[in-house]
Chain A
């Protein structure tokens, strides 16, 4: 996944063309190296795309849609997985965005400077925890802790489709997986939002305060509108991570391939990445090819989401 760090456009250092030749050799070497690094990204991406496409061809050609005879269908296999993947990521974002924005605002506008630095550091540490550790933590510690909450939601709010159904312990359901995904995407959304909030023009903030706005009104009228594009972009980055997360989902979710909205029920959903990880050990031939095809779908899905993120940032990002 690419990062969309908004680097300030550094003015190109204009070297004097009549410097000695040794300096010019260094310049051209550096320029080749950086061009090479840039191209390498395209080559890598192209290699992945070519691999995914060519390896999934056997499954595509043998599928019901193309051959008309096979006993498996690309759409029937892939759509429930896409549904599960997107649903899990969406719920994770719904949980994570308000918390992340809150933390970011606290760090950028409320906390004393010392506390802010420490807190920011700790949030970044969350991103350093390996996903397999999140999986262990979620599966063994968190799932039993969430059980009373789920039972409450199911009993009293069961008329809402999301909380309906018949959940059974242990709660290895989509909701648990989404909670852990939310924790995992929290750092990236917080970090990017914080940076954007900090870039709010000082003069505008001071103007709002001078007009008699309270601190909260200042944030609502100046900081949040200014940072909206940044928060959206941060959320899209988080979404990208949540879509592709494998290990944590694999270790927490008891999977099933359906279009159920009952996120508290076990055995109803599965994500693409976790499905590949769980099936690939014993897959061969067309089965393997089919798994790679779902990988291709995920690749395209992530690509589209990154493109949307860039489009939104370009449209409503901070105008410099």
Chain B
């Protein structure tokens, strides 16, 4: 099974990295013959130092990063295989809470989580992390778009108060003066508003309602929540379910990963005095302008997302998913594997891959460099 998989991965790598064709051939023949992988691959080791990586690396956590993790693990294993290493990386999308739990139990060596580790979790992490604390690293920035489906309306400007009022059920018709005020040019029909929410528990809902509760606390009084607090109303299971519900009605409005908005209208959100449409740059900027969470170690990079920012060109409705790794690994092989993988997925290359495959907004160069610095500092052995 393992050997067969390796061959497949090596084959994929053949196509991926034309420059390493020779090394890839060497790698696959090595794997076919047994355990001697990497012994005679000096030529390839210079490319990424992956030749020595062997064994299994298991991670679990947030389902929001599932698509990106699938792309990362496959491509990374391809790169390792191409250099003669033999490493299997898996990511089980068990949910953020379970992922953190399994990481603290030592069941998995890294975790993905929509929320950073809490204080108690950080203290508990010293037991599985060779005496040092675990670190949170921003990994995945996903912009959340406010999508709508109104016949004859293509663009819409919405203030946080209006969005909050709509989803709280206080603004019920598209011709409401509060909406018309910010859309002087649009012809808004006399049509019931049908707000659509996620029926499953989701980090998207949590980040969206956190945005509403901070920017429009009077209109949205339910606070940041994971499970929709208002009974009744339209909903959909998962991002795709929500999108198809919005598509299926007229006068519907919902919130979803921007990459999945498809043909639906996407509202521009009021930030400061202007209305900002979603873009990858604007979303990445939202993280850049946010202050770091206080009282954390220097290498524990956690942001206190500033939803109320008035900075120009910033799109504040974003979801940030963190990578949780140990500050120190006692097992050298394990540590090197985690470091290589973490370093790959937070690099510009890895971030571009997830932007293509999962529609995330890549980390900015500065943030990516800072994260890479922390990963370099993880002690091993």
- Which of A251, A257, A283 is B237 in contact with, Cβ under 8 Å? A251
Distance (Å) between the CB of A85 and the closest chain B CB? Answer: 16
Give Cα A288 to B63, complex, Å. 15
Confirm or deny: A225 has a beta carbon within 8 angstroms of a beta carbon on chain B. no
Contact call A170/B234, Cβ cutoff below 8 A? yes
Stretch at the interface among A211-219, A264-272, A298-306: A264-272
Stretch at the interface among B72-80, B197-205, B284-292, B337-345: B197-205
Known: A169-B249, A267-B232. A281 touches B63 (CB 8 A): yes
Contact call B95/A254, Cβ cutoff below 8 A? no
Confirm or deny: A39 has a beta carbon within 8 angstroms of a beta carbon on chain B. no
Confirm or deny: A285 has a beta carbon within 8 angstroms of a beta carbon on chain B. yes
Contact call B231/A267, Cβ cutoff below 8 A? yes
Confirm or deny: A168 has a beta carbon within 8 angstroms of a beta carbon on chain B. yes
Confirm or deny: A231 has a beta carbon within 8 angstroms of a beta carbon on chain B. no
What residues on A are CB-neighbors of B231 within 8 Å?
256-258, 267
- Which of A139, A267, A281, A283 is B235 in contact with, Cβ under 8 Å? A267
Contact call B200/A282, Cβ cutoff below 8 A? yes
Interface string of A47-68 (1 = CB under 8 A from B): 0000000000000000000000
Distance (Å) between the CB of B96 and the closest chain A CB? Answer: 7
Stretch at the interface among B240-248, B268-276, B316-324, B362-370: B240-248
What residues on B are CB-neighbors of A140 within 8 Å?
244, 248
Confirm or deny: A227 has a beta carbon within 8 angstroms of a beta carbon on chain B. no
- Which of B97, B98, B235 is A255 in contact with, Cβ under 8 Å? B235
Interface string of B125-136 (1 = CB under 8 A from A): 000000000000
What residues on A are CB-neighbors of B238 within 8 Å?
278
**Residues of chain B in range 216-268 having any CB-CB distance to chain A below 8 Å:** 226, 231-238, 241, 244-245, 248-250, 252
Known: A168-B192, A279-B200, A283-B97. A144 touches B248 (CB 8 A): yes
Confirm or deny: B160 has a beta carbon within 8 angstroms of a beta carbon on chain A. no
Contact call B249/A284, Cβ cutoff below 8 A? no
Confirm or deny: B283 has a beta carbon within 8 angstroms of a beta carbon on chain A. no
Distance (Å) between the CB of A266 and the closest chain B CB? Answer: 5
Contact call A170/B249, Cβ cutoff below 8 A? yes
Give Cα A267 to B234, complex, Å. 6
Distance (Å) between the CB of A288 and the closest chain B CB? Answer: 8
Contact call A281/B248, Cβ cutoff below 8 A? no
Chain A: CB-nearest residue to B250: A169
Q: Interface residue count for B (Cβ, 8 Å)?
A: 32
Distance (Å) between the CB of A284 and the closest chain B CB? Answer: 3
What residues on A are CB-neighbors of B97 within 8 Å?
282-285, 287
Confirm or deny: B214 has a beta carbon within 8 angstroms of a beta carbon on chain A. no
Known: A278-B237, A279-B201. A258 touches B232 (CB 8 A): yes
Contact call B248/A282, Cβ cutoff below 8 A? no
Confirm or deny: B194 has a beta carbon within 8 angstroms of a beta carbon on chain A. yes
What residues on A are CB-neighbors of B234 within 8 Å?
168, 170, 172, 254, 266-267
Give Cα A27 to B235, complex, Å. 59
Confirm or deny: B176 has a beta carbon within 8 angstroms of a beta carbon on chain A. no
Contact call A282/B199, Cβ cutoff below 8 A? no
Confirm or deny: B52 has a beta carbon within 8 angstroms of a beta carbon on chain A. no
Chain A: CB-nearest residue to B238: A278
Distance (Å) between the CB of A89 and the closest chain B CB? Answer: 19
Chain A: CB-nearest residue to B199: A255
What residues on A are CB-neighbors of B233 within 8 Å?
254, 256, 266-267
What residues on B are CB-neighbors of A257 within 8 Å?
231
Give Cα A265 to B233, complex, Å. 9
Chain B: CB-nearest residue to A247: B237
Distance (Å) between the CB of B310 and the closest chain A CB? Answer: 32
Interface string of A277-320 (1 = CB under 8 A from B): 01111111101100000000000000000000000000000000
- By a beta-carbon cutoff of 8 Å, the part of chain A in contact with chain B is 139-140, 143-144, 168-170, 172, 250-251, 254-258, 265-268, 274, 278-285, 287-288
A-B contact pairs, 28 of them (CB 8 A): A168-B249, A169-B194, A169-B249, A170-B245, A170-B249, A172-B235, A251-B241, A254-B196, A254-B199, A254-B233, A257-B231, A258-B231, A258-B232, A266-B232, A266-B233, A267-B231, A278-B200, A278-B238, A279-B200, A281-B200, A281-B201, A282-B97, A283-B95, A283-B97, A284-B97, A285-B97, A285-B101, A288-B98
13 more A-B residue pairs beyond the given contacts A251-B241, A267-B235, A282-B96, with a C-beta to C-beta distance below 8 A: A139-B241, A143-B248, A169-B248, A170-B249, A170-B252, A172-B234, A254-B234, A254-B236, A255-B235, A256-B232, A282-B203, A283-B98, A288-B98
